[in-house]
Amino acid sequence: MAATIKAGAAEVSAATSGLNPYQGPPVGDNVFAKITQNVSRVMEVPKPPRAWYIAFGIALTLLSIFGACLGWVVWEGIGAWGNMVPVAWAFDITNFVFWVGIGHAGTLISAVLFLLRQNWRTAVNRFAEAMTIFAVACAAIFPGIHIGRPWLPYWMFPIPNQMGMWPQFRSPLEWDVFAVGTYATVSVLFWYMGMIPDFATFRDRSTSTIKRAAYGLVAMGWRGSSRQWHRYERAYLLLAALATPLVLSVHSVVSFDFATAQLPGWHTTIFPPYFVAGAIFGGFAMVLVLAVPARQFFGLKYIITIKHIELMAMVILATGMVVGYAYGMEFFIAWYSGSMYEGFTFQNRAFGPYAWAYWTMIFCNVVSPQIFWWKKMRSSPWVAFIVGVIVNVGMWFERFVIIGTSLARDFLPGSWGYFIPTPVDYLTLGGSFGLFFTLFLLFCRYLPMVAMAEVKSIMPEAHVAHGDHH
């Protein structure tokens, strides 16, 4: 069977004209079965590949470090981090914005590309959605833990209470609560709904009672009747339409945390589009980072094809140039504003004590994606993987540069400072990846990694009867 898949993959990768990666001659008679078998096999085999164990071990270690860090921060106080006055937000909010940004690509791929009928999305959308959920989970931890009294974040929710307290709705942090909350809810629903037919497949293929019961429960009685398919597709379309504005809103609102502040370097109207572009950029980079090893180790190369990687590389190249433009435009506006403070903030960013962070960001986000102008590079999975990693580093630095350098030197030189992270800062950042990858590896093992039903729907075989007409 492996040989067939390989042959199929080769054939598929050759068919790179047009946007449907599966265009061209059918792969074989039993390709639907193969998809089902291959995707389900990860869940069905008694033991996943050794790489999974190694990765899971690392992720779990990082996760426990994360837990220890957060425990320490709750126990001792957030002084365990290096935050201070003037840099009262540092790694904490940088990590938050970074993870929210990562969480962007999922919904974009699922919803926006769905509405735009970009069928190639089907191979990667489940990944991307899972990534979104896990990234939002990572992100949601930071606003809760970064506050001085981390046992009280619920005071930000409009819960009627005996203290007569009510949130203050002029605060962008309050907007964040709703923006991120809505986004997380819709993303989870969208992700879960998309998985229902695949859960049913898992249920049907399960051999053990426990698995059958568990998958049966989450499949919610899916039988695959055409009425169900009809309802399902309607609902999917509706959710996609609901999710689409959220793609724009969530990161726009996150950017308001900064844009509505008075601080030079934050107080910028370009932030909403710039943040959204940056989020898509970083999100796609993360999808690549996850998809390349996954297709390698779980034998899904013929589902997630080179064409997919190439298309994602193109998105990265395009959005990378959008953020590059934004970086330039910030400088222009700072100069054009005529404000001494604005002008200084940007000069200081590029040539002051944090210049190293700024130029790291420029290299990672503007220079490194330029390699994708070469088709050879775009279609090399491991090059894409490396660029994905670099872009993610760059996007983290972008947030740090915006938050840290602006705060470090604001209006009054008397209170300027320089933020130096503590070991707990680094470990918290590293640990958050532990949470992300732990969740992701569990997802790979136990949930349908690829949207089987959707992939099948765009296979040429699905259209055999009508092929000649379209």
Partner 1 sequence: MSPVDPKKKAPRYWRSVAELEGRLEFQEFMEREFAQPLQELPLDSPERRRFMQIAGASLALAGVTGCRWPEEKILPYSRRPEGLVPGEARHFSTMMELGGAAVGLTVASYDNRPIKVEGNPAHPGSRGGTSMLHQAGILELYDPDRSKAPSRAEGNGRAAATWDAFTAWWKERRAALTSNGGASLRVLAEPSSSPTRAALQQRLKAVFPQMVWVDYCAVDDDNSRVGSTLAFGKPLRAHYAFDKAKVILSLDSDFAVQHPNALAWARDLGRSREPDGGMSRLYAIESTFTHVGSIADHRLALRAELIKAVAVYLDAALSEQLQGAAASGAPQPKPSAAFLEDAYVTKFLSVLVKDLVAAPGKSLIVVGEQQPPEVHALAHRLNTLLGNVGATVSYTEDEPNRARSRENIATLTQAMKAKSVDTLIVLGVNPVYDAPADVGFAEALAGVPHSVQLGLYEDETAKKCAWHLPAAHWLESWGDALAWDGTLSFAQPLIAPLYAGRSSIELLALLADEPKQTGLELLRTTHAGLLGDDRKWRKAIHDGLVAGTKVATVPPALQAIAAVTLSERERAGLELGNGQLELVLRPDDRLYDGRFANNAWLIEMPDTFTKVSWDNVALIAPSTAARLGVEDSTLVKLGVGGRELTIPAVISPGQPDGSIFVQLGWGRTESGVVAGRAADRIPASGVNAYALRSTELYDFGGGLQVTATGEKYLLAGVQDRFVMDAMGQKGISERIGQLMREGTVAEYEKAPDFAKHMVHHPPLLSLWKPVASYDGYKWGMSVDLNKCIGCSACMIACQAENNIPVVGKAAVERGRDMYWLRIDRYYRGTTAAAEVAFQPVTCHHCENAPCEQVCPVGATMHSHEGLNDMVYNRCIGTRYCANNCPYKVRKFNYFNFREDMKDPHNESRKLAYNPEVTIRSRGVMEKCTFCVQRIQKAKIKAKNAGRRVKDGEIKTACEQACPTAAITFGDLNNGDAKVRNEQFHPRSYAMLGELNNLPRLQYLARIRNPNPELA
* x-or-dash string of contact with partner 1, 300-339, rule CB under 8 A: ----------------------------------------
Q: Which is nearer to partner 1, 89 or 298 (CB)?
A: 89
Tokens at 137, concatenated = 């989970």
Which of 3, 29, 50, 85 is the binder for partner 1 (CB under 8 A)? 85
Stretch that binds partner 1, among 48-56, 80-88, 247-255, 385-393 (CB under 8 A): 80-88
Contacts of 17 by beta carbon, 8 Å cutoff, 6+ apart? 23
How far is 284 from 302, CA to CA, in rounded Å? Answer: 20
Least Cβ distance, residue 353 to partner 1 (angstroms): 6
Which of 28, 49, 167, 430 is the binder for partner 1 (CB under 8 A)? 167
Closest CA to 101 of 403, 409, 422: 403
> Given the structure tokens 């203290």, which residue do they identify?
163
Stretch that binds partner 1, among 38-46, 102-110, 406-414, 442-450 (CB under 8 A): 406-414
Least Cβ distance, residue 275 to partner 1 (angstroms): 17
Q: Is 421 in the site for partner 1 (CB under 8 A)?
A: no
Q: Is 390 in the site for partner 1 (CB under 8 A)?
A: no
Which of 122, 132, 348, 438 is the binder for partner 1 (CB under 8 A)? 348
Would you say how long the chain is, in residues? Answer: 470
Q: Is 156 in the site for partner 1 (CB under 8 A)?
A: yes
Which of 58, 60, 188, 261 is the binder for partner 1 (CB under 8 A)? 261
Least Cβ distance, residue 86 to partner 1 (angstroms): 5
Q: Is 414 in the site for partner 1 (CB under 8 A)?
A: yes
Closest CA to 290 of 137, 116, 63, 443: 443
Closest CA to 25 of 47, 40, 41, 10: 10
Contacts of 122 by beta carbon, 8 Å cutoff, 6+ apart? 451, 454, 455, 457, 458
Contacts of 231 by beta carbon, 8 Å cutoff, 6+ apart? none
- Angle at which helices 125-146 and 423-446 pack, to 10 degrees? 150
Q: Is 178 in the site for partner 1 (CB under 8 A)?
A: no
Helix (H, G, I), strand (E, B) or coil at 282: helix
Cis-peptide, bond into residue 26, ω within 30° of zero = no
Rounded to 5 degrees, what angle do the CA atoms 436, 133, 261 make?
90
Least Cβ distance, residue 431 to partner 1 (angstroms): 20
Q: Is 273 in the site for partner 1 (CB under 8 A)?
A: no
> Given the structure tokens 């840290």, which residue do they identify?
404
Q: Is 359 in the site for partner 1 (CB under 8 A)?
A: no
Tokens at 87, concatenated = 């840099």
Point out which residues bind partner 1 (CB under 8 A): 76-79, 82-89, 146-150, 152-153, 155-156, 165-168, 170-174, 177, 257, 260-263, 340-341, 344, 347-348, 351-353, 407, 409-418, 420
